[in-house]
Structure 1
Amino acid sequence: MKMLLSTALAALIASSSAFAADLYAPEPAPITPAAPVAVSTSGWYLRGDVGYAWNHLRGASYWQGGPGGFNADFDDADVDDSWVIGGGVGYQWNDYFRTDVTLDYMFDSDFEGSTSGSCGVAADCVSTDRASWNALSLLANAYVDLGTYGGVAGGFGGITPYVGAGIGATRVNWGSLRNTSCDVNDPSNCDGSVEHDGEDSWRFTYALMAGASVDLTCNWAADAGYRFRQIAGGDMFGYAMNGGPGDDDGFYVHEARLGLRYTFNSCEAPYVPPAEPVVYK
């Protein structure tokens, strides 16, 4: 009897051990999350910008006296500052180089100038000349991104400084110029006002840029920067009443700009490791 119980107990223990072995699953090794892997550092982007422009007129001149007359400079010539709005499309070639084409519109900037000489009411007169101008610039630009600094996982919040240059053309649109001449010794004694038709012309333009962008999301970046443009000289106004035409010597434009860029296919995809299979023994 004692032998029979011992045999049964041994068989029960062996059966339990085999059943436990069949259900055994090894404890999986700890998985270290992998860093996100960028799908691509290149892609097309759209941009939009607003800016404020400090404009400097490089000079202006006019023809005085009709046939046999002479060309003279304005005694004073100045233009006001203005706002700029623009947009463009570009391509990010890699982490350090991108190009785009931009179209920018500069809102009206007032011109005020003066000339001196004889007029219809006196031999010694000074004129007041007023007009306005606006401009549309088309530029092809290239930028060098100088690396991304800071930010969190995925690059959000990273700051990327850059420098760039552009080349293209600007259509300068001059409005009518109104000229009023008055006696130097009696400013109330004025000649009748003369209006000259404004001229439009395309001018060669180049630009230099510097700034920094901040990644807001994987697609959106905010941009803050400075741009310098030099616009070549051209036609300003036409002939009227023995005066004109007139020309300007071009502009220096200093701009502070803020913008947004949306890049297609720039989001990062996190690496997901395959699940460990359960092993039965």
Structure 2
Amino acid sequence: MIRFREAGAVALVSLGLFAAPALAADLLPPPPPPPPPAEPAAIGGNWYLRGDFTASDFRNPKDDTLAGTPGAPIVALRLGSTQGYGGGVGYRFNSFLRADVTVDARSRSRFRDFSSRTLFTQGFNQEAGKLDVVTGLFNVYADLGTWWGLTPYIGAGIGFAHKRFHDSWSGTTCLTAFCGDTQPIYAIGAQGFDPRGNHSATTFAWAAMAGLSYEVGAGVSIDASYRYLDIGKARTGFDAFGFNTRIKDIAANEFRIGLRWAFGGPLGSLVPTPTY
């Protein structure tokens, strides 16, 4: 009988030991829920990238020959049309204001001019060369509203223009044996060409523009615009006689077409689009 009592006591003690953790667990507060999965961070918010093709129609520059330089006045200055590519990065501040930084490189533009003391009746001089232009501009734009997905805008930019004048030369062509002199010392025709050195310069540049963009979706917009670009002056190096070619008021009418891509999704999801 005593053994049965001892066995029962042992069983009760064992049951109590197993039940104690369960009671303690019931008294503790529940564990906190697991943290929610992290959402992917936005890549760039209102930032955007752009790429453009540019066709540049250079206006006729002016002669910048230094006062006191001997020789006939330079006339018929011409810079040939050219084209190039560029790109940039920008930021949209709100539904109507944005800004970007762009860099554009153009293929070489061919330059030429003429000069003659005798109005081309006896002979003339010709100067020629090639001009490469790279521009970097900080631009600010005002979007003027959106109609049927089309957004017209205006803008302005300031920055720099790097110009390289190269492969330049000058030459004389005689139409008579006198070629402007009192003695017939030249033969009729071209008298040879004198090469002029290369020269590079970086100067201030500014631009004014107007354009139209159309958002096609997924943050991509087609952008077409006109830009007036002023890049200042340029000159060649010197030839063996100490002469060079100097031009000023270099400007271009540029027509551009390209794409803009907004980081992190369509621009419409980032900034409310005004409706009219």
Q: Which has the higher contact order (CA 8 A, sep 6+)?
A: 1
Paired AA for residue 96 in structure 1: F
Provide closer, same or farther for how the CA distance between residues 269 and 188 of structure 1 changes in structure 2, counting only shifts above 3 A.
closer
1:167 counterpart = 2:158: yes
Paired AA for residue 248 in structure 2: D
Instruction: Report how far residue 77 of structure 1 moved.
Output: 1.1
The answer for the alignment partner of 1:210 in structure 2 is 210
Structure 2 unmatched ranges of 5 or more = 1-41, 178-186, 270-276
The answer for the alignment partner of 1:138 in structure 2 is 136
2:54 corresponds, among 32, 51, 56, to 51
**RMSD of aligned alpha carbons:** 2.7
- Tell me, yes or no, if the aligned pair for 2:219 and 2:267 is still in contact at 8 Å: no
CA-to-aligned-CA distance 1:93-113 (integer Å, 9 cap, x gap)? 111000000000111111111
Provide closer, same or farther for how the CA distance between residues 245 and 149 of structure 1 changes in structure 2, counting only shifts above 3 A.
same
**Cα distance in 2, alignment partners of residues 262 and 207 from structure 1:** 23
Give secondary structure in 1 for the equivalent of 2:146.
coil
- Tell me, yes or no, if the aligned pair for 1:62 and 1:243 is still in contact at 8 Å: no
**Cα distance in 1, alignment partners of residues 264 and 73 from structure 2:** 55
- Tell me, yes or no, if the aligned pair for 1:63 and 1:71 is still in contact at 8 Å: no
CA-to-aligned-CA distance 1:132-188 (integer Å, 9 cap, x gap)? 1110000000000011112xxxxxxx1111000000010011112121202132684
**Cα distance in 2, alignment partners of residues 262 and 76 from structure 1:** 43
How does the TM-score come out when normalised to structure 2?
A: 0.71
**Cα distance in 2, alignment partners of residues 149 and 82 from structure 1:** 33
Aligned length: 216
Runs of 4+ in 1 over 4 A off after TM superposition: none
1:193 counterpart = 2:193: yes
**Cα distance in 2, alignment partners of residues 247 and 169 from structure 1:** 19
1:239-250 pair list within 5 angstroms: 239-250=238-249
- Tell me, yes or no, if the aligned pair for 1:174 and 1:198 is still in contact at 8 Å: yes
Instruction: Report how far residue 243 of structure 1 moved.
Output: 4.3
How does the TM-score come out when normalised to structure 1?
A: 0.70
The answer for the alignment partner of 2:230 in structure 1 is 230
Provide closer, same or farther for how the CA distance between residues 184 and 243 of structure 1 changes in structure 2, counting only shifts above 3 A.
farther
